[in-house]
């Protein structure tokens, strides 16, 4: 009997354990973490019993699970298992030297992402999970009788259950010369390193294989500055997914982008070239010279291990599995791209993940908890070289009863084919090239077997008169998968709304929907909006009861009508007197547009108290004072001045996270004097009280740091001086790091700049705080001029279009079209507004004034800094006590107990 | 009833608040020149934020009600009744008015 079957709730019953040990089978036992925590009375019972009967051993048995292959699917298996209730002693063995990474987004490494950015896991994470991880060593043998595996490095690992997640490797056609240097593959991060190195300073690159990956790789070569060629054996590109019409359209579009496409070309040999490193000779006797070749001619499952162990394999390779993902040995599972189910290999991540989940579930005791994997939909939508391509189900219409509708528009290069059943009722498949707007709708018809409208062709035809027959979110069954990356169904989304989500952003955060490839974003929005609507949740975007407009609309109105006061604004475009929501919002818009002093008499009543007193109100009604310290660089004289002021006015001093000094406990009536002294010492306001640029943090950079490649401090100072005083929908933070070590943590800022050998990488929309967000890499290797141009545009576009109190992170997540769209607007000027954005920013820069400097020279503005209009006294409720040598506000209890020594 | 001058109109800030001492109590004075009553007075003590800050709040309307929002935690108090719209607390109100160039407090002597 297998020991696992003795287990109940992870605790071996005394009797069975004795019987088991009596059998004398050698085995090591370990006490799993957390095993006892679920049932504390058992713990008590066991420890007490153990103490009184020391002869008995109370031991707990964890099933040993060994996973071979630490790719995306192997990792998902481990993560799923760790997070389940199943107790297991897990070991994962990965052939690559690094823990699992996101292979799907591999090409982004060419766009400037670091390999670490793709990481799905770290060694530390595995450690924290209690998973033993072993990298950089291939398993070379499975010994099914002894139930262990052996690695090339000579290590042996025992298992009770073995999981093969070995994935696949690129198929390199047996062409003579394929082993020459600069003939490469495209599958791993290490491959990318080789491709990059090989491309350096070279001119021409060839990809062999015109499938999905081949085209992606061609794009990468093009981005590396090479003249890119695609050589395909078959007559068309993406032959697996596209019919002839679609394939031709794709070719035209790709050629228009400058990639040379050669179809029906059989490569016969590769030899040394004359002008370039290599020469390819084709069967039609033509030749092509190139500096490098990348093979992307299909993949082959890594199944040798299984073959050697006499496991059943498919006719065309792959480890055969059943619906439980079991191989022909019931203790061995296979999942992901190495597995074959019914002669079919599922070469996508989502089905791999489902297999992993199904395989984990087999370890449950109760058969109710066991899931099966019976196949998966292989429909795909993607953007290749900027060309949108979609394929659904039987995309080429191979089935006998399939009837096709085809739409082709050679002017705008769009091709669509819809395959329906003979009775015209069901979608069998579709091909979309150049425009995939219909993909989501068609896919839902297909997956959920929904009856088609009477004129199915209207689903793919451009809407000439009126609306397309939209597939209402209501029509979808609860089980309809909305996000296939994270397997989120319509039902899950509705559950999350039941649970309190009230916006697309909430649902995203809660269910992870639309956070994988992002392809389902539009559909998700439909479902969420429909559901909220059905519940009578009116999605009201008005800023408040006084204006029936969003902040963006108010901005446009103010700008278009040159409105400069709140009164005009509310008179013409709103109603009532305003409130603490719309007043600061309008004030911020006015400031972004016209940049007048916050204490100008029209603006005073609009400001939040922090803006009115140009200082941050603390809990007891006193204020804090934060002078600007650009880039965190400060003169000793200024430090001394700060200290003198703090001493003189009895202020509590603290260093902020933004590399400056905050002085707390200032009385309102002292603020002007304090600032006068600071300004005399050459300092200026830090705008810590405003929704505006706070600080530009910097590391010490190349000036002092032995790793630095650029002067990050200088850059930070320049940025801070440029954007200081800019009023924004929410506070704004920036940082500059002098090299990729990123000591300034720029990737957690709204605008992050990281030095490279060649210039600056720009990151946008990062965020610390309650919900941290990693900034997105926006552009790479910029010179300073372009960097400033992009930041000008980015900030002004944000100022124009964001909601009230919306950080850049949330703004970007809600921006339709996301980062790509943002790049189009800011880099390609797709809206034609960049000049305007820059002019507007320049106006703000040119009209900068230190608000405090202006204020202390204007008696009228100082009028407000009086504690009482009719008495020269202090607020008696402001009481300080001493702590660690400085003041702090007294607590209520302390104020009552007068025996406490009050200071200040 | 007696009338005491508190300050001059010039000490007020239009559509905003200042603070005055009346009989040693801190009183927030709000000047809304476009309303009939023009000047409103509430206790300056914020019972929720536990600080003397009401005069530094922002004013506006919610529906029919003229309100000031506490600068600390943003609850709204009615300028006319002193009632808080969100919580079960109230601020004392004071009977003030504008007489010529001055703000006066009408004190009821009981
Ligand atoms: C460039 C590229 C783009 C892609 N784009 C998409 C996409 O857009 N959408 C999509 O769904 N899919 C995409 N795919 C496919 C997707 O990446 C794979 O389906 C997925 O990675 C398969 O996961 P896996 O864990 O089964 O295999 P793999 O990720 O290949 O992992 C297997 C791991 O096991 C290791 N291994 C193999 N043999 C052994 C051994 N004997 N001992 C120890 N370790 C071993 C390998 O080194 C490898 O690290 C793309 C693939 C590539 C290469
Ligand atoms: C009323 C509320 C708040 C006030 C008055 C306030 C004030 C400040 C001030 C004065 C600084 C110093 C920045 C500088 O040097 O200029 C600061 C920094 C910071 N604040 Fe706040 N803050 C508030 C709310 C928050 C909240 C809610 C968060 C988190 C979500 C937050 C996160 C930070 C961080 C991370 C820094 C460090 C900035 C950096 O390293 O760049 N703050 N805050
Ligand atoms: S980011 Fe680079 S340059 Fe800056 S301090 Fe760190 S290591 Fe030095
Ligand atoms: S973390 Fe909380 S307590 Fe600390 S400063 Fe921010 S808001 Fe205040």
At which residue do the structure tokens 């269910």 appear? A511
Task: Give chain B's domain count.
Answer: 1
Among A95-99, A549-553, B56-60, B96-100, the minimum mean pLDDT is found in A549-553
Q: Is A10 in the pocket of ligand 1 (CB under 6 A)?
A: no
Q: Are A385 and A490 in a shared domain?
A: no
| Alpha-carbon span A167 to A100, nearest angstrom | 12
The answer to whether the Cβ–Cβ distance between B20 and A613 falls below 8 Å is no
Note whether residue A871 is domain-resident: no
C-alpha distances in Å from residue A739, one per residue of A702, A742, A787: 8, 6, 16
pLDDT at A33 over 60: no
Q: Are A698 and A808 in a shared domain?
A: yes
Q: Which domain holds residue A307?
A: 63-169+301-369
**pLDDT at residue A471, rounded to an integer:** 62
pLDDT at A73 over 90: yes
Residue range A241-277, pLDDT digits in tens: 888 888 888 898 888 888 999 999 999 999 999 999 9
| Alpha-carbon span A72 to A103, nearest angstrom | 7
**pLDDT at residue A598, rounded to an integer:** 65
Q: Are A718 and A841 in a shared domain?
A: yes
Q: Which domain holds residue B27?
A: 4-108
Helix (H, G, I), strand (E, B) or coil at A241: coil
Residue range B6-56, pLDDT digits in tens: 899 888 888 889 999 998 899 999 999 888 888 999 999 999 989 999 999
Residue range A888-897, pLDDT digits in tens: 998 888 887 7
Note whether residue A146 is domain-resident: yes
**Of A67, A104, A99, A97, residue with least CA distance to A82:** A67
Residue range B88-106, pLDDT digits in tens: 899 999 999 999 889 999 8
Q: Are A255 and A387 in a shared domain?
A: no
State mean pLDDT over A477-484: 80
The answer to whether the Cβ–Cβ distance between A584 and B66 falls below 8 Å is no
The reply to whether A470 touches chain B by the CB within 8 Å rule is: no
Angle in degrees, CA A867, A873, A877, rounded to 5: 75
Q: Are A120 and A203 in a shared domain?
A: no
Residue A1 pLDDT class (50, 70, 90 cuts): very low
The answer to whether the Cβ–Cβ distance between A612 and B19 falls below 8 Å is no
CA atoms lying within 13 Å on the CB side of residue A262:
18
Q: How far out from the chain centre does Cα B70 lie? A: 12
Residues in A 853-892 with any Cβ partner in B closer than 8 A: 863-864, 866-871, 873, 875, 877-878, 892
**pLDDT at residue B92, rounded to an integer:** 94
Residue A575 pLDDT class (50, 70, 90 cuts): confident
State mean pLDDT over A557-568: 84
Examine the fold and report which residue of A255, A277, A297 is the final residue of a domain before the chain moves on: A297
**Of A703, A776, A773, A708, residue with least CA distance to A742:** A708
Residues in chain A: 904
Q: Which helix (H) or strand (E) holds A781?
A: strand A776-782
Residue A323 pLDDT class (50, 70, 90 cuts): very high
Query: How many Cβ atoms sit within 10 Å of the Cβ of residue A518?
Result: 14
Cβ-Cβ contacts under 8 Å for A893 (sequence gap 6 or more): none
Q: How many helices and strands (H and E) does chain A possess?
A: 28, 38
Note whether residue A498 is domain-resident: yes
Note whether residue A901 is domain-resident: no
Residue B87 is part of a domain; what is its CATH number? 2.102.10.10
Q: Residues A187-203, buried b or exposed e (16+ Cβ, 10 A)?
A: bbbebbebbeebbeebe
Atom of ligand 2 lying closest to residue A687 CA: 16
pLDDT at A460 over 90: no
Note whether residue A893 is domain-resident: no
Q: Are A226 and A140 in a shared domain?
A: no
**pLDDT at residue A898, rounded to an integer:** 57
Q: Are A124 and A198 in a shared domain?
A: no
Q: Are A92 and A140 in a shared domain?
A: yes
State mean pLDDT over A414-424: 90
Q: Are A736 and A813 in a shared domain?
A: yes
Q: Is A603 in the pocket of ligand 1 (CB under 6 A)?
A: no
| Alpha-carbon span A880 to A890, nearest angstrom | 5
In terms of pLDDT, which residue wins out, A113 or A291?
A291
From chain A, the residues in CB contact with B12 under 8 A are 869
Angle in degrees, CA A181, A185, A191, rounded to 5: 90
Residue A38 pLDDT class (50, 70, 90 cuts): very low
Give the residues across from A92 on adjacent strands.
A67, A133
Note whether residue A639 is domain-resident: no
Q: How far is the CA of A157 from the centre of ligand 1 (A)?
A: 23
Residue range A41-69, pLDDT digits in tens: 344 444 444 444 444 344 455 799 999 99
pLDDT at A712 over 60: yes
Q: Are A163 and A309 in a shared domain?
A: yes
**Of A519, A537, A526, A470, residue with least CA distance to A493:** A526
The reply to whether A896 touches chain B by the CB within 8 Å rule is: no
Residue range A743-766, pLDDT digits in tens: 999 999 999 999 999 999 999 999
**What are the pocket residues of ligand 3 if the criterion is a CB atom closer than 6 Å to any ligand atom?**
A 699-701, 705, 707-708, 712, 737-739, 741-743
Note whether residue A458 is domain-resident: no
Q: Mean pLDDT of all residues in chain A?
A: 85
**pLDDT at residue A212, rounded to an integer:** 82
**pLDDT at residue A517, rounded to an integer:** 63
pLDDT at A563 over 80: yes
Examine the fold and report which residue of A539, A554, A589 is the final residue of a domain before the chain moves on: A539
Q: Are A204 and A343 in a shared domain?
A: no
In terms of pLDDT, which residue wins out, A625 or A385?
A625
Distance from CA of B52 to the nearest CA of A (A): 6
ipTM at complex level: 0.88
State mean pLDDT over A711-726: 95
Cβ-Cβ contacts under 8 Å for A661 (sequence gap 6 or more): A626, A627, A629, A639, A642, A653, A654, A655
Note whether residue A400 is domain-resident: yes
pLDDT at A671 over 90: yes
Ligand lying nearest the CA atom of residue A339:
1
Q: Is A687 in the pocket of ligand 2 (CB under 6 A)?
A: no
Residues in A 621-650 with any Cβ partner in B closer than 8 A: 621
Q: Are A226 and A306 in a shared domain?
A: no
| Alpha-carbon span A697 to A699, nearest angstrom | 7
Task: Give chain A's domain count.
Answer: 6
Residue A149 pLDDT class (50, 70, 90 cuts): very high
Residue A787 pLDDT class (50, 70, 90 cuts): very high
**pLDDT at residue A469, rounded to an integer:** 54
Examine the fold and report which residue of A248, A265, A297 is the final residue of a domain before the chain moves on: A297
Provide, for chain A, the percentages of residues in helix, strand and coil under a 3-state DSSP scheme, each rounded to the nearest 5.
Answer: 35, 20, 45
Rounded to a whole number of angstroms, the CA Rg of chain B reads 13
Q: Give the best residue of A567, A598, A869 to mutate against chain B (max B CB count within 10 A).
A: A869
């Amino acid at each position: 009997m297998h020991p696992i079957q003795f287990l109940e709730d992870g605790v071996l019953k005394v009797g069975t354990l004795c019987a088991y040990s009596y059998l004398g089978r050698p085995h090591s036992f370990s006490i799993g973490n957390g095993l006892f925590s679920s049932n504390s009375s058992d713990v008590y019972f066991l420890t007490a019993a153990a103490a009184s009967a020391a002869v008995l051993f109370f031991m707990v048995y964890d099933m040993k699970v060994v996973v071979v292959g630490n790719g995306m699917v192997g990792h998902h298996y481990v993560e799923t298992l760790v997070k389940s209730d199943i107790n297991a002693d897990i070991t994962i063995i990965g052939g690559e030297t690094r823990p699992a990474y996101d292979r799907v987004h591999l090409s982004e490494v060419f766009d400037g992402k670091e390999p670490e950015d793709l990481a799905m896991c770290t060694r530390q994470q595995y450690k924290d999970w209690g998973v033993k991880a072993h990298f950089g060593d291939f398993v070379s043998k499975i010994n099914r009788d002894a139930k262990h595996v052996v690695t090339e490095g000579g290590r042996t690992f025992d298992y009770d259950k073995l999981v093969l997640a070995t994935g696949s490797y690129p198929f390199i056609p047996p062409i003579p010369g394929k082993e020459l240097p600069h003939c490469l593959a495209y599958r791993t991060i290490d491959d990318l390193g080789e491709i990059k190195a090989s491309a350096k300073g070279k001119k021409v690159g060839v990809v062999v294989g015109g499938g999905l990956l081949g085209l992606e790789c061609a794009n990468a070569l093009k981005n590396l500055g090479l003249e890119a060629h695609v050589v395909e054996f078959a007559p068309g590109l993406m032959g697996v997914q596209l019919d002839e019409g679609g394939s031709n359209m794709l070719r035209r579009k790709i050629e228009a982008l400058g990639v040379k496409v050669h179809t029906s070309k059989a490569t016969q040999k590769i030899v040394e070239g004359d002008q370039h490193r290599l020469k390819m000779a084709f069967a039609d006797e033509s030749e092509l010279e190139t500096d490098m070749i990348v093979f992307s001619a299909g993949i082959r499952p890594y199944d040798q291990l299984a073959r050697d162990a006499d496991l059943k394999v498919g006719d065309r390779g792959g480890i055969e599995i059943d619906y439980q993902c079991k191989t022909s040995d019931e203790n061995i599972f296979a999942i992901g791209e190495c597995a074959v189910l019914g002669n079919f290999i599922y070469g996508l991540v989502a089905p791999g993940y489902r297999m992993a989940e199904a395989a984990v579930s087999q370890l449950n005791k109760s058969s109710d908890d066991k899931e099966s994997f019976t196949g998966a939909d292989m429909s795909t939508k993607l953007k290749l070289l900027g060309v949108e391509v979609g394929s659904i189900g039987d995309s080429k219409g191979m089935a006998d009863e399939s009837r096709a509708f085809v739409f082709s528009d050679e002017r705008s290069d769009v091709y669509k084919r819809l395959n329906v059943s003979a009775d015209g009722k069901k979608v069998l498949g579709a091909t979309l090239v150049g425009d995939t707007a219909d993909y989501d709708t068609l896919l839902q018809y297909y997956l959920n077997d929904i009856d088609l409208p009477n004129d199915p062709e209207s689903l793919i035809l451009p809407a000439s008169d009126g609306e397309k027959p939209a597939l209402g979110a209501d029509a979808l069954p609860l089980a309809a998968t909305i996000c296939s990356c994270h397997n989120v169904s319509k039902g899950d989304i509705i559950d999350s709304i039941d649970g309190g989500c009230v916006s697309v952003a909430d649902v995203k955060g809660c269910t992870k929907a639309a956070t994988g490839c992002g392809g389902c974003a539009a559909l998700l929005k439909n479902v969420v909006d429909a559901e909220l609507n059905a519940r009578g949740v009116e999605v009201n975007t008005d800023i408040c009861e006084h204006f029936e407009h969003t902040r963006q609309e108010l901005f446009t109105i103010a700008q278009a009508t040159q409105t400069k006061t709140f009164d005009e604004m509310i008179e013409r475009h709103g109603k009532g007197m305003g409130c603490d929501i719309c007043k600061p919002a309008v004030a911020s818009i006015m400031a972004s547009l016209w940049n007048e002093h916050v204490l100008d008499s029209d603006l005073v009543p609009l400001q939040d108290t922090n803006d009115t007193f140009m200082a941050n109100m603390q809990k007891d009604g006193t204020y804090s004072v934060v002078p600007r310290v650009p880039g965190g660089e400060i003169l000793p004289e200024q430090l001394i001045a700060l200290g003198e002021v703090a001493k003189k006015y009895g202020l509590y001093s603290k260093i902020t996270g933004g590399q400056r000094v905050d002085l707390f406990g200032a009385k309102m009536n002292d603020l002007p004097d304090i600032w006068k002294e600071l300004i005399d010492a050459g300092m200026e306001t830090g705008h810590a009280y405003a929704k505006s640029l706070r600080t530009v943090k910097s590391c010490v950079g190349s000036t002092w740091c032995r790793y630095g490649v650029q002067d990050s401090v200088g850059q930070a100072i320049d940025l801070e001086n440029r954007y200081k005083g800019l009023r924004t929908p929410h506070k704004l933070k920036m940082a500059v790091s002098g090299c990729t070590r990123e000591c300034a943590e720029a990737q957690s800022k709204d605008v992050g700049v990281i030095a490279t050998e060649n210039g600056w990488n720009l990151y946008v929309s990062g965020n610390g705080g309650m919900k941290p967000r990693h900034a997105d890499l926006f552009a790479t290797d910029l010179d300073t001029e372009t960097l400033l141009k992009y930041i000008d545009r980015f900030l002004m576009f944000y100022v124009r279009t964001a909601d009230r109190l919306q950080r850049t992170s949330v703004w970007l997540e809600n921006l339709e079209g996301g980062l790509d769209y943002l790049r189009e607007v800011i880099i390609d000027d797709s809206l034609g507004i960049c000049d305007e954005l820059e002019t507007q920013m320049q106006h703000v820069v040119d009209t900068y004034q230190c608000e405090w400097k202006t204020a202390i020279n204007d008696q009228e503005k100082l009028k407000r800094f009086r504690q009482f209009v009719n008495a020269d006294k202090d607020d008696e409720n402001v009481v300080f006590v001493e702590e660690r040598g400085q003041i702090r506000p007294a607590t209520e209890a302390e104020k009552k107990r007068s025996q406490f020594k009050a200071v200040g | 009833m007696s009338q005491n001058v508190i300050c001059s109109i010039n000490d007020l800030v239009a559509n905003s608040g200042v603070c005055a001492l009346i009989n040693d109590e801190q009183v927030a004075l709000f000047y809304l020149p476009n309303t009939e009553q023009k000047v409103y007075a509430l206790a300056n003590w914020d019972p929720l934020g536990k600080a003397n800050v009401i005069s530094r709040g922002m004013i506006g309307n919610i529906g029919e009600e003229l309100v000031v929002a506490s600068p600390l935690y943003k609850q709204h108090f009615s300028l006319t009744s002193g009632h808080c719209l969100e919580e079960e607390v109230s601020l004392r109100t004071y009977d003030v008015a504008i007489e010529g160039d001055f703000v006066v407090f009408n004190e009821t002597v009981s």
